[in-house]
Amino acid sequence: MKRSITRLLMAPSVLLLLAWMLVPLSMTIYFSTINYNLLYPGRNNFVGWMNFEFFITDPGFWIAISNTLILLISVLLITVVLGVALSALIDKPFFGRNVVRVLLISPFFIMPTVNALIWKNMMMNPVYGIFAWISQSLGLEPIDWLSDYPLMSIIIMVSWQWLPFAILVFVTALQSQDTEQKEAAQMDGANGWHIFRYLTVPHLARPIAVVVMIETIFLLAVFAEIYVSTGGGPGYDSTNLAYLIYNQALLQYDVGVASAGGLFAVLLANIVAFFLIRAVGKNLTV
């Protein structure tokens, strides 16, 4: 009796959540099996696996998958390594530490679109960008970042965006590190590097796992930076899965193929999550 009442009381929220998840998913699955091109309304006949076939055989498909993974792994590496290093650097009190902290965190408050515009127009532009100016004042040929190194440019932008998040998490974690442990290590003959290596890094294992998890969720779906800066180009050089899906749906008006691509994205996210949880999940349970 009591149990059925609790179930009854829980039912509305469970049903809502279920609908929230199931409706879009089933609609995507449904769209992925029909002919659904916005240019040819009314011809929504069942086509089976054809949309998937189209999507996989798209010349950009494998490039997009590899770009997605390269982007994910590079940004994770950069933000975690630099994040740990910078947080450790600003952990000790020094003059102006608060200002430095605010400056380090602030890129996180800038929207991805604005971020991409700043990098595209003010930093990486081959004519009046700051990088070009630096190259020229050193007597070097300016680099056209967005055309010559498109994926690298995206990685830089996204890393700049996400590094503050990592720093924010790591700085807070470092504050909870026990000072007596560090002093004990000092007495045991440890130098700064030893303390960092044997005390700080293990102490940060859990925060690192959290940062990796959360960043992965967002990095698999990077879109605005690509849209604003390189437009996925040149060719498919900076197209990731999210951008390829957008390309299908809104540049080629093929909702069916885009839905099939969306299901591939779900698949990829699950594969990544599987390895991720095996790799870092154990840090979260202890």
The residues that touch another protein, with contacts defined as CB under 8 A, are 178, 180-181, 183-191, 194, 198-199, 202-203, 205
Q: Smaller CB distance to another protein: residue 12 or 202?
A: 202
Give the CA angle between residues 21, 26, 31 to the nearest 5°. Answer: 135
* CA 167 remoteness from chain centre: 15
Let me know if 142 is exposed, middle or buried by CB neighbors in 10 A (0-12, 13-18, 19+).
middle
The SS3 assignment for 243 reads helix
Q: Smaller CB distance to another protein: residue 271 or 279?
A: 279
Q: Smaller CB distance to another protein: residue 39 or 187?
A: 187
CA distance 265 to 3: 39
CB of 199 to another protein, least distance (A): 6
CB of 221 to another protein, least distance (A): 34
Q: Smaller CB distance to another protein: residue 13 or 176?
A: 176
Contacts of residues 30-38 at CB distance under 8 Å and 24 or more positions apart, as own/partner, are 31/255, 31/256, 31/258, 31/259, 32/256, 32/259, 32/260, 32/262, 32/263, 33/256, 34/256, 35/256, 36/254, 36/255, 36/256, 36/259, 37/253, 37/254, 37/255, 37/256, 38/253, 38/254, 38/255
Q: Smaller CB distance to another protein: residue 59 or 202?
A: 202
Q: Smaller CB distance to another protein: residue 192 or 235?
A: 192
CB of 85 to another protein, least distance (A): 20
The SS3 assignment for 128 reads coil
Tokens of 56: 């996989």
CB of 99 to another protein, least distance (A): 21
Q: Give 3-state DSSP helix, strand, coil % of the chain, rounded to 5.
A: 75, 0, 25
Q: Smaller CB distance to another protein: residue 43 or 197?
A: 197
Q: Smaller CB distance to another protein: residue 109 or 193?
A: 193
CB of 198 to another protein, least distance (A): 7
CA distance 267 to 261: 10
CB of 192 to another protein, least distance (A): 11
CB of 94 to another protein, least distance (A): 16
174 neighbors 88 (Cβ within 8 angstroms): yes
CA distance 92 to 104: 15
CB of 172 to another protein, least distance (A): 18
